[in-house]
Amino acid sequence: MDEARWRKLTDWPLLACAVVFLVAYSWEVLADLRGTERAAAESVMAVIWVAFLVDYVVRLSLASPRWPWFRAHLPDLAIVLLPFLRPLRLIRLVALFAILQRTTGGAFRGRVVQYAIGASVLIVYLGALAMVDAERGHGDIDTLGEGLWWALVTITTVGYGDMTPVTTTGQLVAAAVMFAGIALLGVVTASFASWIVDRVAQHDASEQAATRAQVDELTREVRALRVELARAGTQDRVTTSP
């Protein structure tokens, strides 16, 4: 079995795992679970973490040139190993969106915009959740509503400062959301830029860049000419030889 086939088989189960993880983590954080309920939620998350770990190890062993695969999938490794740093464990769920992404078609730029929107929504929710988990009882951010407001203010790089994390874990979560904000700004801007460049280029058809298809057609034309010339030359000789 090769890696592509394994991915096809495991995509949907892993998506389900990610959703269950999200639900379990949301429940634990939002209901502020204690005792056996907390243990139950933690167990569910641990089992799912094992599933992701197994998936990573299997894919690494199936990859034929192993070193390039390892280098190209460092983020996957981080997603598997980061769980020990608890709130960042949630980053793993971005995989959910990547899987959803793979199932939809459409033009490249449209997919980039969809991905950016989807990833932003996920990051805002996960950031809010992780922030409430880290900061409850320590700072200003105690409820999901406050967490969402903080995450929105941060990911857009507005940064009012009416609520700021005070714990180290909260500040690490904040750093992740801030850099997500820079990436969001970058993707939005780049998509607009690509769209404007395309539209400006299409405006005046006579000024559009020559396409490969056009030059290929011209090359065919010249080759046909050469064949014709060769034929004409032969005919000449045939005609004039006697």
Interface positions, 109-138, toward a second copy (CB under 8 A):
109, 112
CA–CA distance, 114 with 108 (Å, rounded to integer): 10
Q: Is residue 226 a contact residue for a second copy (CB under 8 A)? A: yes
Rg from Cα positions in the chain:
28
Q: Is residue 4 a contact residue for a second copy (CB under 8 A)? A: no
Tokens of 174: 């904040």
Report how many residues bind a second copy under the rule CB under 8 A: 76
Which 18-57 positions form the footprint of a second copy (CB under 8 A)?
none
Unique residue bearing structure tokens 């045939």 = 238
Q: Is residue 71 a contact residue for a second copy (CB under 8 A)? A: no
Long-range pairs, 168-172, Cβ under 8 A, ≥24: 169/86, 169/87, 169/134, 170/131, 170/134, 170/135, 170/138, 170/139, 170/141, 172/85, 172/87, 172/88
Considering the complex, what minimum distance in angstroms separates the CB of residue 175 from a second copy?
A: 5
Q: Is residue 78 a contact residue for a second copy (CB under 8 A)? A: no
Q: Is residue 74 a contact residue for a second copy (CB under 8 A)? A: no
Considering the complex, what minimum distance in angstroms separates the CB of residue 22 from a second copy?
A: 22
CA–CA distance, 143 with 163 (Å, rounded to integer): 12
Q: Is residue 72 a contact residue for a second copy (CB under 8 A)? A: no
Considering the complex, what minimum distance in angstroms separates the CB of residue 221 from a second copy?
A: 5
Considering the complex, what minimum distance in angstroms separates the CB of residue 189 from a second copy?
A: 4
